[in-house]
Amino acid sequence: MRISGKKYRTIWQCEDNPSVIKIIDQRLLPHEFCIIDLLNYKDSIDAISDMAVRGAPLIGGTAAWGMYLAALEMKEKNLKKIFLENAAKEISESRPTAVNLVWAINKVMEKVKGLEDNETIIKAIESEAKDICDEDVENCRKIGLHGLEIIKEIASQKRENEVNILTHCNAGWLATIDNGTATAPIYAARDAGIDVHIWVDETRPRNQGASLTSWELMHEEIPHTLIVDNAGGHLMQHGEIDLCIVGSDRTTRAGDVCNKIGTYLKALAAKDNDIPFYVALPDSTIDWSIRDGLKEIPIEERDELEVSEIRGISDGEVRSVKIINDETPCSNYAFDVTPRKYISGLITPRGVCKANEEEISKLYPEY
């Protein structure tokens, strides 16, 4: 994506010093565009758990580069391979829900199986981290092309050309390495000359919709309107939404989708109003080891402060303000599961399929 005319990915290796990994600090957006350095694998853990980086595919990419930083440290301190194994375990535990994290770590560990020489291990992990990131960009591009067909079809049935799409959280460029999952079809539609307008859910408590998706769409010059999380149902009842596209943090092999808290309620409202509800995801987000999303997906619970306070900018300074009394306890479930029966289809890099085991495995027979 371009920011002020310059093309960026969300994570990259420093050109001048390949042992430094660069990320955009998403905690400061949209108020400040700040690039920070990851210098060791503990930095990658902090970046993931404190959400300087977030979004399932980007969490996977950061985990892979974190393993590269761990390998550098292993060499520098002349440590044994157990150091790398421990780092893998620690990074895997930095956030629980997005399966891309463990997926990326497993891919990296698979590559270093049987390798003993530190230099060879570093090279192998570096190349794997690059591949994971490049593949994600390509996957998002393909998701865009497949999702475009859905938008085209809806545009062709409308008297006026504009297609109104609702999205939740940020499943955009910032959640991936580039392009986004849910946003890729939107960008492809714009490029194909279709007028789109996006309803952006604010996505309390971290406000990824308000802070990140709106910012991305503004830079891409896509018409959009920010709404409070509870407005989607009302807009659907009044014919203001033609289509919902969201991302996923973990999808089961049977098609249940875990995504940002509130996704389920949007899917229910979409079903009640006969509005297509699609989930865009790369295969790295499919957890092939589980079927029942409600029973088997670990749901992250985050700090109460994210609920009791709200962050924003005032007098040029980013700060948090308290919005509740001192006594009320808060709970902060970060994700929910949308059962497959509410999902119209999955938009994957290999095509669009129904959210059920048979259809998913037709696209992915190797699993």
Q: Which residues are catalytic?
A: 249
Nearer to ligand MRU, 247 or 293 (CB): 247
Q: How far is the CB of 259 from ligand MRU (least distance, A)?
A: 5
Stretch 330-359 residues interacting with ligand MRU (CB under 6 A):
334
Nearer to ligand MRU, 84 or 188 (CB): 188
Stretch 71-100 residues interacting with ligand MRU (CB under 6 A):
98
Q: How far is the CB of 54 from ligand MRU (least distance, A)?
A: 3
CA distances from 307 to 31, 43, 175, 333 (A): 20, 25, 22, 10
Q: Which residue is nearest to ligand MRU (CB)?
A: 247
Nearer to ligand MRU, 51 or 269 (CB): 51
Q: Looking up tokens 């949308």, which residue turns up?
A: 338
175, 198, 257, 343: residue in contact with ligand MRU (rule CB under 6 A): 175
Q: How far is the CB of 53 from ligand MRU (least distance, A)?
A: 8
Q: How far is the CB of 255 from ligand MRU (least distance, A)?
A: 16
Q: How far is the CB of 139 from ligand MRU (least distance, A)?
A: 10
171 belongs to the binding site for ligand MRU (CB under 6 A): yes
Stretch 110-129 residues interacting with ligand MRU (CB under 6 A):
none
Q: How far is the CB of 167 from ligand MRU (least distance, A)?
A: 9
Determine the interface stretch with ligand MRU among 17-25, 55-63, 65-73, 131-139 (rule: CB under 6 A): 55-63
176 belongs to the binding site for ligand MRU (CB under 6 A): yes
Q: Looking up tokens 């192998």, which residue turns up?
A: 124
57 belongs to the binding site for ligand MRU (CB under 6 A): yes
259 belongs to the binding site for ligand MRU (CB under 6 A): yes
Q: How far is the CB of 315 from ligand MRU (least distance, A)?
A: 27
Determine the interface stretch with ligand MRU among 144-152, 167-175, 213-221, 224-232 (rule: CB under 6 A): 167-175
293 belongs to the binding site for ligand MRU (CB under 6 A): no
Write the CB contacts of 23 (distance below 8 Å, at least 6 apart in sequence).
10, 11, 35, 36, 38, 47, 52, 53, 62
Stretch 301-330 residues interacting with ligand MRU (CB under 6 A):
none
179, 181, 252, 284: residue in contact with ligand MRU (rule CB under 6 A): 181
CA distances from 49 to 27, 206, 301, 304 (A): 12, 13, 12, 15
Determine the interface stretch with ligand MRU among 50-58, 62-70, 73-81, 185-193 (rule: CB under 6 A): 50-58
247 belongs to the binding site for ligand MRU (CB under 6 A): yes
169 belongs to the binding site for ligand MRU (CB under 6 A): yes
Determine the interface stretch with ligand MRU among 27-35, 104-112, 173-181, 237-245 (rule: CB under 6 A): 173-181
9, 146, 260, 340: residue in contact with ligand MRU (rule CB under 6 A): 260
CA-closest candidate to residue 24, choices 216, 240, 310, 265: 216
Write the CB contacts of 295 (distance below 8 Å, at least 6 apart in sequence).
none
Q: Which residues bind ligand MRU (CB under 6 A)?
A: 54-57, 98, 169, 171, 175-176, 181, 208, 247-249, 259-260, 334
